[in-house]
Structure 1
Amino acid sequence: MKPNVPPRPFPWRHLLNWTASLGLLLFLGLGSELLLQQYALRQQQVEQQQLLAHANEASAVLLAELNATLHLATGLATYIPAKHGQIDPEELKPWLEGLFQQGRHIRNIGLAPDNRIAFVYPLAGNEAALGLYYPDQAKQWPAVQRIIASRTAKLDGPLQLVQGGTGLIYRVPVFLDDQRYWGMISTVIDFDRLYAQVEEVARQRNIALRLRPVAEPISASLTQTASEPARVKLPIVLAGAHWQLEAHNLIAAKPLPAWLRLLGWSLALICTALVSLALHAQHRQASLLLALNRSQQQFFDAFDMTPQGLALLDQQGSILAANRALCQLLQRSPATLLNQHLRQFCVASGHAQLNAELAATTPGHNRSWQQDLLDARGDSIAVMLSAAVLNGGLETGATRILHIQDIRESKRLLRLQNEFISTVSHELRTPLTAIIGPLELINAGALGEVPKALQPMLQIAQHNGQRLATLINDLLDIGKLAAGKMQFDVQPLALQPLIEQALHSNQAYAADYGVHLRQLASCAERVRVDAHRLQQVLANLLSNAAKFSPRGGTVDLYTERRDQHLRLYVRDHGPGVPAEFQEQIFQKFAQADASDTRQKGGTGLGLAISKELIEGMGGHIGFDSSEGQGATFWFELPLAEPATAERPA
């Protein structure tokens, strides 16, 4: 039995479909071509009209300037007969000066009795024209003869002038009262400057001009071909001169948009293209969905196999997913974690911090903080939490991903390190004190005169012993601060006596560097502060400012009230804080330039200790610096009572 094969369509049906498609394509294509031709013709007409208008405007400028100049020059022809052919240069000069002030493009005016130029105004720059005899000018003499014969003034040019440059010459024949020919008045128009003005007008209209003389008058014409832009030719007739002004656009006409032709020839394929696009879109959507499912599966596989704890949280902070590492860390099953708020697995004292940190986690603002979690037995686990907002919404609806790192071991190691440093520091302090004390007595001469050969070595030993004692004290303070054992005796105290004490205590140290400490204005406020810890902070800031100030410089200390806090500034005029060091300046053992710092002295702990002390007293610390322009360190302390007016220091 043969399979049920569907009947094949008749060949003429395919031929009809192809014919209909081709016919539709040709019909729409020819229609679009007709519309494009009409559009091109309209654009060509607009271009021609604009070109003609701009050319007429340039022609009008040229004629206006020439007419004004020729009108002024013609009046001089009446002067010669009135003076019976005599030329008085002193009498002519004021008149000619007036003509030049009104005729902007007149280069010079020459008087040529008997066809020889005997007077030129102005003479400067036109000396070569003086004494010129027209019959000797083979190119110009025929034109001069015609002017004399016709007794009519005529404009000639442009011509190359004997004095240099190009000019138009307006020649006026002069006849005396007895009709006897006297000579010629020639007004030379600076063609280069006049034509530059006309070309400037043309450039502003985006057209190019060419002016050339013609023998006979011509008629205006407008031509345009498929390969060349439109050109207009205008006749210019003035004072017997005939020119042709030719103009064309500098900017080529925009070709017809290619997309119009493509659109017309594509209409026949629109239906097929739409169907093809729909099928392609459906296939692409299915491919994207498959790729999304695969990507989600890979994400959840990686999420679950990560060796550190991970959790997905919704906007309220409830756990939507937890990986194996987190379940093992908390010793809980996934079922006991899902859909539970994270604060249920935190110690009660950390609920407020957790809520605040999660609320502050927004797109582009990731957060990291320490928290104590509770395992299934109720034991506390110190962890570092890092939260970030997911870019895309997964099908689970998670909006945050939380990274949980167990830091119990690192905190234990840090505690051991601090205990070791504290023990070593305590053990070193006693013998070091026993060493420094006798050295101070010996150097002070309390045990008798020290031989000169030993004095430098003993002073070096005392200086380095004191540096070592400072380092040990700093290490002990850092250890206390890290362990939370630093005691603060915060009381409301007047700040001015504390500032004066700090300046007095550190002035000798600053003098070793050739630096003077000064307070710009006295402070009358009272602040809540531990006096001893404040002296420690001020000593750190003042000594740093002195070390990095130039010799002969000053360190300024001043205060400013800011709302309910008082800010104290310590400003130096040294090299400033390098930009690459500014972020870690308050870290332990941080030094901008280790070699330079060691030359000046320092442990790299002073600013770190100052930060901890100021924050322990309820304030905060910071600095402002531009490299090469000094640095200003400041800290703020809460006011104990409303401030009073400052008095001069």
Structure 2
Amino acid sequence: MSQHHAPRQYLNWLASLGLLLLLGLGVELLLQQYGLRQQQAEQQRLLAHANEVRAVLLGELNATLHLATGLASYIPARQGRIDTAELEPWLQGLFQQGRYIRNIGLAPDNRIDFLYPLSGNEAALGLYYPDLPKQWPTIQRIIASAQPRLDGPLQLVQGGRGLIYRVPVFLADQRYWGLISTVIDFDRLFAEVEAVARQRGLAIALLPLDAAQQLALTSTPDTELHLPVFLAGANWQLQARLLNPQPPLLRGLRLVGWGLALAVSALIGMALHSQQRKTSLLLALSQSQRDFLQAFELAPQGMALLDAQGRLLAVNQALCRLLQQSPTQLLQRSVMQLCVPAEREQLQVRLATLRFGHNDSWFLQLLDGQQQQIAVECSAAILGQLGSASEVRILHVQDMRERLRLQRLQSEFTASVSHELRTPLTAIAGALGLVNGGALGEVPAAMRELLQIAQANSQRLQELINDLLDMEKLLAGKMRFEAREQPLWSLLQEAVLHNQPYAAQHQVQLQLLGPPCQVAVTVDGQRLAQVLANLLSNAAKFSPPGSSVEVAAVVQGGHVRVSVRDQGPGIGENFRARIFSKFTQADASDCRQKGGTGLGLAISKELIERMHGRIGFDSVEGQGSTFWFELPISVTKPQDAST
């Protein structure tokens, strides 16, 4: 019997040994993968820290080069002459900002005859670049390319190592003047960068970059790499290695039992965790769907779910009440059938051009159960897949009838009040004008200032009422336009002439820049003059005294662009989006210095668009603004502006 048990025990032992070897192999594979991940993490840490050090080096160099570059515009501006008394305060300011600038040298005709500071750099004064055989070929290439270049590190004649940023200077007639050399104290700069590297556990070196290394990052051992550094024509490689690399995974004795227990428990744990996570996700998804359907059904505004063809998959109670139809009457119908025929194509295009992650909104006229039109605002977005339907869209419908009614009442009230105020204000302004003009005798000194303020405010109120009436007419479509073809240049000449007295009050000169633009446009001359008056008065009002406002016209394809450029403070970023809105001004405080109704640009935009043009502006804060509008050029041949 022992003879029968021996082979079975042998087979069991072999099976146990095989299972043990299999589990051990799995453990070894897991350990090997862990070691690889450790190695990759070490390399990523090395790469991340090396990139940080390189960024610090480039940041310091860029800041220094940026400060030194401004000097290159000084020499041509002075026709090549060097004014020491004028340069030294400026250079002193550069040195206070540039921590690593050792000196700046000016070398007309390639000989350094000016150094700042001179102290400590005397050995470089009078240096003639062609006498430097190691540097002169590089300098010749810089002059030939007319581009600045950073060279080094080089051993300096005044001691120490430095990086030299050479800028070739050419005068206005393109004659070569000489070089501006900014010497950067390489030893100090690199010591600072090394300190940063040591804080990150790196040892670094800056080496020349070989041609084979310019195309890709080259890594040597796991604890060392080379990063390319390119700046202003200089090509280096930053060598970085870890000072304290993580020790490799110790491969000591492994207890097979602990390994198997760890492997089995990890697999069981991952399986249980995966199952629990899947169950939690399903429960959360189910709860989310229930919450969505409840919010969908009880939402105060109309909502519907549509498929890719625009069929109604679900509607809520608010939409049914709005359309006065039951869900059974609406479901599976095309949403196109619910809007007026004239807008069905627009609705179809809107739904077809929806993009995932974007919400689009527009106005629409829907039809209720009695075929009555309902003004609504719609917005739609793509939800994704829902059940068997793909690319389900959710449509929001907001009833706009009450809002439109209130807007209409507001407009009617504004127009009525404006009309009622115009007549008494005209009489008040006229009476004040007669009194201030001396028609009733000389005004007492104690009353003169108060009467002048009253007259100015009454005139300002008249302008506001006129602008309000114009805006209401534009929005209601009641403003008459008598468009006819006429030369543009003569309209610009008249606008500059008629608005010059107002500009003179602000000590500003209006200038119409030539040459004359010989094109014709089809416009209402009076309305175009109103637009030009708004733009010119704004430009004059915000320009500093003694400056000029430039008006120009340029043909661009089938359009002509008219621009009004001022030298004012420019337009702030937070105001640009609202500049063509009603009752908006850049200075909206109660004590603003510039008057105005805040309607001029809004009216100008409406007028230009009614004449088939467009209006806009370009502005840099602190450097003035340019307002422009474009009009289509008439097809017929224009007449000469002088006729």
Q: Tell me the TM-score normalised to structure 1 length.
A: 0.58
The letter of the residue matching 1:518 is: Q
CA shift for structure 1 position 340: 2.5
CA shift for structure 1 position 375: 0.7
CA shift for structure 1 position 400: 2.4
The letter of the residue matching 2:547 is: G
Is 2:307 aligned against 1:314? yes
Alignment of 1:78-477 (within 5 A): 255-257=247-249, 277=270, 281=274, 284-390=277-383, 396-445=389-438, 450-477=443-470
Q: Check conservation: 2:508, 2:540, Cα contact below 8 A.
A: yes
* Greater alpha carbon shift after TM alignment, 589-598 vs 366-375: 589-598
Which stretches in structure 2 are left out of the alignment for 5+ residues?
1-8, 37-202, 205-240
Secondary structure of 2:621's aligned partner: coil
* Greater alpha carbon shift after TM alignment, 560-569 vs 571-580: 560-569
- Aligned-partner Cα distance in 2 for 1:479–1:424: 12
Q: Could you say which structure has the larger radius of gyration?
A: 1
- Aligned-partner Cα distance in 1 for 2:390–2:458: 64
Q: Check conservation: 1:318, 1:340, Cα contact below 8 A.
A: yes
- Aligned-partner Cα distance in 1 for 2:524–2:490: 13
CA, structure 1 residues 34+575, in 2 after alignment: closer, same or farther (shift >3 Å)? closer
Q: Check conservation: 1:28, 1:267, Cα contact below 8 A.
A: no
* Greater alpha carbon shift after TM alignment, 638-647 vs 628-637: 638-647
1:508 pairs, out of 482, 488, 501, with 501
Secondary structure of 1:580's aligned partner: coil
The letter of the residue matching 2:322 is: L
Paired position in structure 1 for 2:549:
555
Residues 524-567 of structure 1, C-alpha deviations (whole Å, 9 max, x = no match)? 11122221111111111111111111111111111222332222
Paired position in structure 1 for 2:587:
593
Is 2:524 aligned against 1:537? no
Residues 95-130 of structure 1, C-alpha deviations (whole Å, 9 max, x = no match)? xxxxxxxxxxxxxxxxxxxxxxxxxxxxxxxxxxxx
- Aligned-partner Cα distance in 1 for 2:439–2:500: 26
- Aligned-partner Cα distance in 2 for 1:619–1:384: 27
Residues 287-332 of structure 1, C-alpha deviations (whole Å, 9 max, x = no match)? 4334322321221111111011112223333322211101111111
1:604 pairs, out of 589, 598, 603, with 598
Q: Check conservation: 2:379, 2:395, Cα contact below 8 A.
A: yes
Secondary structure of 1:373's aligned partner: strand
CA, structure 1 residues 613+364, in 2 after alignment: closer, same or farther (shift >3 Å)? farther
The letter of the residue matching 1:334 is: P
- Aligned-partner Cα distance in 1 for 2:506–2:463: 19
CA, structure 1 residues 330+261, in 2 after alignment: closer, same or farther (shift >3 Å)? farther
Residues 211-259 of structure 1, C-alpha deviations (whole Å, 9 max, x = no match)? xxxxxxxxxxxxxxxxxxxxxxxxxxxxxxxxxxxxxx99677643579
CA, structure 1 residues 285+523, in 2 after alignment: closer, same or farther (shift >3 Å)? same
CA, structure 1 residues 566+343, in 2 after alignment: closer, same or farther (shift >3 Å)? farther
- Aligned-partner Cα distance in 1 for 2:559–2:311: 39
- Aligned-partner Cα distance in 2 for 1:30–1:509: 90
Overall identity of the aligned pairs, in %:
54
- Aligned-partner Cα distance in 1 for 2:30–2:361: 67
Paired position in structure 1 for 2:200:
none
Q: Check conservation: 2:384, 2:390, Cα contact below 8 A.
A: no
Is 2:571 aligned against 1:571? no
Secondary structure of 1:539's aligned partner: helix
Secondary structure of 1:573's aligned partner: coil
The letter of the residue matching 1:542 is: L
Paired position in structure 2 for 1:192:
none
The letter of the residue matching 1:464 is: N
Secondary structure of 1:390's aligned partner: strand
- Aligned-partner Cα distance in 2 for 1:262–1:535: 93
Which stretches in structure 1 are left out of the alignment for 5+ residues?
1-11, 40-205, 208-248
2:512 pairs, out of 495, 514, 519, with 519
CA, structure 1 residues 283+634, in 2 after alignment: closer, same or farther (shift >3 Å)? same
Secondary structure of 1:362's aligned partner: coil
- Aligned-partner Cα distance in 1 for 2:492–2:417: 34
- Aligned-partner Cα distance in 1 for 2:302–2:535: 43
CA shift for structure 1 position 634: 1.3
Residues 359-389 of structure 1, C-alpha deviations (whole Å, 9 max, x = no match)? 4432343222221111111111111112223
- Aligned-partner Cα distance in 1 for 2:489–2:553: 10
2:624 pairs, out of 630, 639, 642, with 630
CA, structure 1 residues 579+31, in 2 after alignment: closer, same or farther (shift >3 Å)? closer
CA, structure 1 residues 32+349, in 2 after alignment: closer, same or farther (shift >3 Å)? closer
* Greater alpha carbon shift after TM alignment, 316-325 vs 375-384: 316-325
- Aligned-partner Cα distance in 2 for 1:424–1:508: 32
Residues 50-87 of structure 1, C-alpha deviations (whole Å, 9 max, x = no match)? xxxxxxxxxxxxxxxxxxxxxxxxxxxxxxxxxxxxxx
The letter of the residue matching 2:576 is: Q
Paired position in structure 1 for 2:610:
616
Secondary structure of 1:382's aligned partner: strand
CA shift for structure 1 position 34: 13
The letter of the residue matching 2:360 is: R
Paired position in structure 2 for 1:64:
none
Residues 541-598 of structure 1, C-alpha deviations (whole Å, 9 max, x = no match)? 1111111111111111112223322221111111111111111111111122223774
- Aligned-partner Cα distance in 2 for 1:297–1:541: 57
The total of aligned residue pairs comes to 426
CA, structure 1 residues 266+546, in 2 after alignment: closer, same or farther (shift >3 Å)? farther
- Aligned-partner Cα distance in 1 for 2:246–2:372: 80
Give the aligned CA root-mean-square deviation in angstroms.
4.0
Secondary structure of 2:631's aligned partner: strand
Paired position in structure 2 for 1:44:
none
Residues 153-194 of structure 1, C-alpha deviations (whole Å, 9 max, x = no match)? xxxxxxxxxxxxxxxxxxxxxxxxxxxxxxxxxxxxxxxxxx
- Aligned-partner Cα distance in 1 for 2:429–2:28: 107
